[in-house]
Chain A
Amino acid sequence: MENSIIDEKIINDLLPQKFGKAGKIWVALLTVVCLIGLFAYYRQIRYGLVVTAMRDYVSWGIYISNFVFFVAISLVGSLITAIFRLAGVKWGSPLTRIAEIIAVAAIIFASLIIIVDMGSPERFYNLFTHGRIQSPIIWDVIVITTYFFISLLLLYYPLLPDIKILLRYKEKSGNRMHKFYSYIGSFWKGTPEQFKLSEKAINILCVTIIPVAFTIHTVTSWLFATTYRPGWDSTNFGAYFIAGAFLVGSGAVVVAMYVFRKAYHLEKYITENHFEKMGRVVVLLSLLYLYFNMNEFLTPFFKMKKSEEGYLNGLFSGDFATVFWFAILIGMIIPIIILLFKSGRKPLPMFIVGVMVIVGAWFKRYLIVTPTLLHPFLPMHDAPASYHHYFPSWEEWAITMGSLAGALLIITILARVFPIIPIQETLTEEHEKAI
């Protein structure tokens, strides 16, 4: 009896909740930003990429930065779900669903933004009819698709027991939702065999997603590293990208933890202890990323080869210095300093650190793409003056913001539809504790 009252309480706490006023405003806001982005994309389709500020030298701009950013964030799914799970980290389980939702949203928009960047998107199918395996783009298409499906399944399987619970609360979820839940999960009876099967499936997914996740980041880094450009011609790139991705992904989880905890009053489930632990994870990852940054910049800086000179000077003291030092300070150094203190690992400071990490990471991705393109081997001389600079046009900003808003919208909707903290798992843990 005692037990079931506690259960009731937990379920009540964790059932998806209808949007309040703030929630509605939030969704409306995101929708508006998305629509503006869509309008900008319509203009881009109609007039061509000429509406962007990209030109022959800077032929990749913030779309590609944004793509790399999304790919990076999506890594978190495999970090929190797979690595924590396989390593037997118990405290991470309330965070798994958040991480998986972020991963799915990010990977969807990573693939969309790459289509947005194409000059002739109507020929997208050529990638399948004429695809050539020696191009890193095809590798990317393959791993992104694989990663998307694994992430989706990793979100779905652990959901099944929760859906069974949701189905019991028809009056709470409403008719349409109920239909949806039974559509996607009514085959789940929760028998021991099913549990065993799903457990096995999840374990297999966890084992496979780790190499796939590493591949998707490495392959994305190879999009750059397989070229001859100064600044990209780096053997460090794969590891550098993975370290950076882990960092921004965990930053995103911290931010999401804070927001959901506040919005859904989940203080009991996402505790200060979780922030404390995530704080340690973030410090570790920041240090790791800082280490790879030193590898990335110190060695070429020491040698200062002619081809790299303009690029490195541009970063350290030239046109890009402000953004560069901002990204290093905000994205790594200041978070490390804050998180070294115990009081820095409380929810609010952690939230701020998470935002800093994300913002720093976005600008870092910008710095990976643009400065290199503005420092080609041959001089940018015999070209129109507008080709010598790059500052994104309003369409580019609108589309980029639209994609970010779109990802947030997916996260918001998934959090509205599904319990953001695994209910069944929480119950099981509660029971184990009681015993």
Chain B
Amino acid sequence: MENNSRRDFLLTGLITAGLVSGCTPKTDPFEAGASDIAVPSGKKVKLLSVDGEEIEVDEAFLKPVPHMPPVSNTEARIGIPGKKFVMVIDLSRCKNLKKCQSACNHAHELNPGENWIKVDPMQDAEHTAPYWEPTTCMHCDEPPCVKVCPVDATFKRQDGIVLIDSDRCIGCRFCMAACPYSTRVFNWGEPEIAPAIAALPYSCETSVPQKKGTVGKCDFCADMTRMGELPHCVSACPNGVFAFGDLNEDSVSNGAETFRFSDLIKDKGGYRLMEDLGTKPSVYYLPPVSRNFPFESGLENDKVQNK
């Protein structure tokens, strides 16, 4: 399992490297690798090139590259022009499968025990029915975390995504105290990630690699949205709980279905969490009415992890 994902990683890395070299006239990636101290190991790996051809490469020349060319810090801080990303979470469809959580943890190389997505059992009053509520970072339009950050390590982009610059964060954890949605996670120790990943340069858009003594949280998969794709949690949920899209286009999609955002919110009575605090979240919830699953069906998945 571990090995597999590592191979996937290298593979996509290589393909992207190919892509980059396609655009920049400089050198081809293999030569770039060879110019380092790599000595051929004799072990060949079969790879699929960008044009769909099968090629063989010596293992020693493989270099991990993030799965997309990381945009510069300045670009990552500006965001994608003309967009305003929103998420809709349909509580009537959730049965606490936590596929969103594991996909997210995997994509962002999170430490075991660290979750950016949490699924909580909720009950609004004594005699109302309980339901499962997934929470992510709300990507608030008035984000308290951004207001309190002393060094601009957590910032809000023009497309509404709130990101963290782990290269700048001083680890004061003021943002954690300020976030009323308790979505932020701190890297208390050295993150347990593969050395190759830990050696990558940090990118605000992938949030990889997490670093000791800095804070992390859901990033709305800014790297995926830049490629026009859905965040990992959205595609991972088999029940279509999450829908993601652009408010300016007024459309959100859960991968299988696409909705007009305004109609969806209007017809189903969408709302946001803790509206009274004035944080203006970008995550909307649809109430848990006419549910697809009974609450109890989620209980078996609800083992609290111990670590």
Contacts and interface: CB of A to CB of B under 8 A. Distances in A.
Contacts of A134: 147
Contacts of B101: 382
Interface in A96-121: 117-121
Contacts of A384: 113, 304-307
Interface in B128-154: 135, 144, 147-153
Given A48-B190, A377-B274, A132 B173 contact: no
B148 A126 contact: no
Interface in B205-257: 211-215
SS class, residues of chain A in contact with chain B: loop
Given A49-B188, A373-B177, A378-B181, A227 B306 contact: no
A379 B181 CA distance: 10
A59 B177 contact: yes
A48 B182 contact: no
Interface in B102-132: 113, 115, 118-122
A392 interface: no
- Range for the number of chain B residues in contact with chain A: 35 or more
A60 B174 CA distance: 9
A229 B188 contact: no
A381 B170 contact: no
A130 interface: yes
A131 B169 CA distance: 11
Interface stretch (A50-58, A257-265, A344-352): A50-58
B169 A48 contact: no
Contacts of A83: none
Contacts of B307: 384, 386
Given A56-B185, A59-B186, A135 B173 contact: no
A120 B148 contact: no
Given A130-B152, A137-B148, A228-B180, A47 B214 contact: no
Nearest to B279: A228
A383 interface: yes
Contact of B174 (A55, A57, A137): A137
A250 B186 CA distance: 38
Contacts of A137: 148, 150, 172, 174
Given A228-B144, A229-B177, 4 more contacts: A48-B189, A118-B171, A226-B147, A229-B180
14 contacts: A49-B188, A55-B188, A56-B182, A56-B186, A127-B150, A132-B152, A135-B148, A135-B174, A137-B148, A226-B147, A227-B177, A377-B274, A378-B118, A384-B305
Interface of A: 47-50, 52, 54-57, 59-60, 117-121, 123-124, 126-127, 130-132, 134-138, 141, 223-224, 226-229, 373, 376-386
